[in-house]
Amino acid sequence: MSVSPHDCVVVVLGASGDLAKKKTFPALFALYKRDQLPKHCHILGYARSEMTREAFHERISGHLKGSKEEIEGFLSLCNYQSGKYDVDADFKSLDETLRKYEEDHSKDTLRLFYLALPPSVFAQVASQLRRNTYLDGAINRIIVEKPFGHDLESCRKLITEIKGMWAEHETFRIDHYLGKEMVKNIPTFRFGNPIIENMLNSEHVDNIQISFKEPFGTEGRGGYFDEFGIIRDIQQNHLCQVFCLLAMEPPKDFSSEAVRDAKVQVLQQVEPVRADEVLIGQYVAANGKPGYKDDETVPKESRTPTFAAVVLRVNNERWRGVPFILKAGKALDEGKVDIRIQFKESDTQMTGSERNELVMRIQPGEAAYIKVNTKLPGMANTSAPVELDLTYAKRFHDMHIPEAYEALILDALGEDHSNFVRDDELLASWAIFTPILHAIDKGEFEVAKYAYGSRGPEEIDDFMARLGFRRTVQELAQAE
């Protein structure tokens, strides 16, 4: 993708924080290395911390992977300015700095503001930027990080506040999962392959699992995590976005608005979540690792789930009767994010053969494979499941696979909204999850305990079996 603005200034607000240091600046650096930033581009970090330009460079350079020359070239574009988030004079000073970088204040000038900030200051900073640094007659864009609210009401309030200052076409709400290569591949994999798309319906599919597993706990961030929990942190946004791309009807075309229209439509067709199709859990100490409540920052009476399985059901002709199981957890036995589509058995299926499955692994190591049954070589007529495997590292070993933030920042520079979240999409998603979240917050669900390093609560196997999910013979053997 090419970007057209003659002058471009990227302002990273919250530049002294971990998100900016570990994600935003490395993504900008990757674009710089591949010559994908605008020709005349300046990058300015802004935060409350007092810091010299040299100290700022030292802070971010440890996360930049490249040659000495590349890093020095990138840092030459980067400057830093300190200022508060609620002081008009500081933002007026920021505007003065930006004008020094811009050769020509024309319609080809782009100011891109990236809010790597906590949500508590989103509206305040968006207001300051609009009042004091918005360049009339030029291109102004604002990137907002998740979380977008705490529930439906808070999300609607945040959207209303920001929309009062920034137009929807100027606003880019990042869910970084939409920048992951395998997630971006879902529409192509579906609609570019009739053999796949024609199988994705209730006639052929028994159940779909979208799974997120982390092998570590909150690791000192328990107090922060306790405000949100695993459903707000992972399922309402990341996994729900994956669900949309899997479940949506073919869009009328593949423009950003048509794709987002299709996503909103399927979200509005989701039935209210059933209480008996929710399982939540919280990890306890095991295998030499501390439990969630062993973190001093976590309230001892906390019921915040660190594991959850939530079933979404779509009330339309294509998907009626098919459970979409969104499962996420911390402190589990492995780190993995994948989609697992289990197909129904046919009346003519051979005895002893296993279900066909389509698996798309989002991380680690992008891959897509179909599990089919084949006869084992030899005299006996014995079948075994095998994988028709597309592993990206093997098939595309000579191609660059961008990191999620790298791809999304490039999209924002080029005004491509396809992989960003629209306001009505957010509201539709929160409308699904808010009732169940409020019920959890009120203590209406039992919180199952599970050991650090396990597969999750013991109840998960019965829960999944009730929904029609079947573990393979290999998985069952490994569990014994």
424-462 pLDDT, tens per residue? 999 999 999 999 999 999 999 999 999 999 999 999 999
263-277 pLDDT, tens per residue? 999 999 999 999 999
Provide the sign of the torsion angle of the four alpha carbons 290, 226, 228, 147, taken in this order: negative
Tokens linked to 256: 């950003």
Res. 6 pLDDT band, cuts 50 70 90: low
135-171 pLDDT, tens per residue? 998 899 999 988 888 999 999 999 999 998 999 999 9
Catalytic residue positions, numbered: 238
3-class SS letters over 168-189: HHHEEEECHHHHCHHHHHHHHH
86-136 pLDDT, tens per residue? 999 999 999 999 998 886 555 578 999 999 998 889 999 999 999 999 999
Whether residue 289 is predicted with pLDDT greater than 80 in this model: the reply is: yes
Write out the DSSP string of 188-208. HHHHT-HHHHTT-STTTEEEE
Domains of the chain, first to last:
7-145 (3.40.50.720), 178-402+423-479 (3.30.360.10)
24-65 pLDDT, tens per residue? 999 999 999 999 998 889 999 999 999 999 999 999 998 999
Residue 207 · residue 323 · CB < 8 Å: yes
- Rounded to a whole number of angstroms, the CA Rg of the chain reads 24
- Report phi then psi at 56, rounded to 5: -65, -45
Rounded Cα distance between 391 and 378, Å, is 28
| Whole-prediction pTM | 0.90
Residue 249 · residue 318 · CB < 8 Å: yes
Residue 314 · residue 249 · CB < 8 Å: no
Work out the percent of the chain whose per-residue pLDDT is above 90.
75
Which H helix or E strand runs over 75? helix 68-75
Tokens linked to 264: 């909103």
CA distances from residue 98 to 54, 73, 109 in whole angstroms, order as listed: 19, 20, 11
Res. 283 pLDDT band, cuts 50 70 90: very high
Res. 476 pLDDT band, cuts 50 70 90: low
Whether residue 1 is predicted with pLDDT greater than 50 in this model: the reply is: no
Q: Is 154 helix (H, G, I), strand (E, B) or coil?
A: helix
Residue 98 has what DSSP assignment?
A: H
359-411 pLDDT, tens per residue? 999 999 888 988 887 777 776 677 777 777 878 777 777 777 788 999 999 99
